[in-house]
Amino acid sequence: MAMDVHGRTDSAVLAPLYTGADGKLHAVFTRRRDDLRRHPGEISFPGGRQDPGETLMETALREAHEEVGLPPGAVDVLGALEPTPTFVTNYAIYPFVGLIEPGFEWVLGETEVAEVLEFSLDELRAGAGERRLVRRGIPFRTPTFEVGGHLIWGATGRILQDLLARIGV
Instruction: State which residues form the domain around 98.
Output: 9-120
CATH code (residue 17): 3.90.79.10
Q: Does residue 67 belong to any structural domain of this protein?
A: yes
Number of domains making up the chain: 1
> Which residues make Cβ contacts (< 8 Å) with residue 109, sequence separation at least 6?
66, 67, 68, 69
Residue 33: Cβ within 10 Å count: 17
d(CA 107, CA 104): 9
Residues 96-148: pLDDT tens digits?
999 999 999 999 998 899 999 999 999 999 999 998 877 777 777 889 999 99
pLDDT-derived band at 1, boundaries 50, 70, 90: very low
Q: Does residue 19 belong to any structural domain of this protein?
A: yes
What average pLDDT does the structure give for the chain?
90
> Which residues make Cβ contacts (< 8 Å) with residue 50, sequence separation at least 6?
9, 10, 11, 12, 56, 59
Residues 9-34: pLDDT tens digits?
899 999 999 999 999 999 999 998 87
Concatenated DSSP letters for 62-118? HHHHHHH---GGG-EEEEE---EE-TTT-EEEEEEEEE--TT------TTTEEEEEE
Instruction: Provide mean pLDDT across the span 139-161.
Output: 92
Q: Does residue 103 belong to any structural domain of this protein?
A: yes
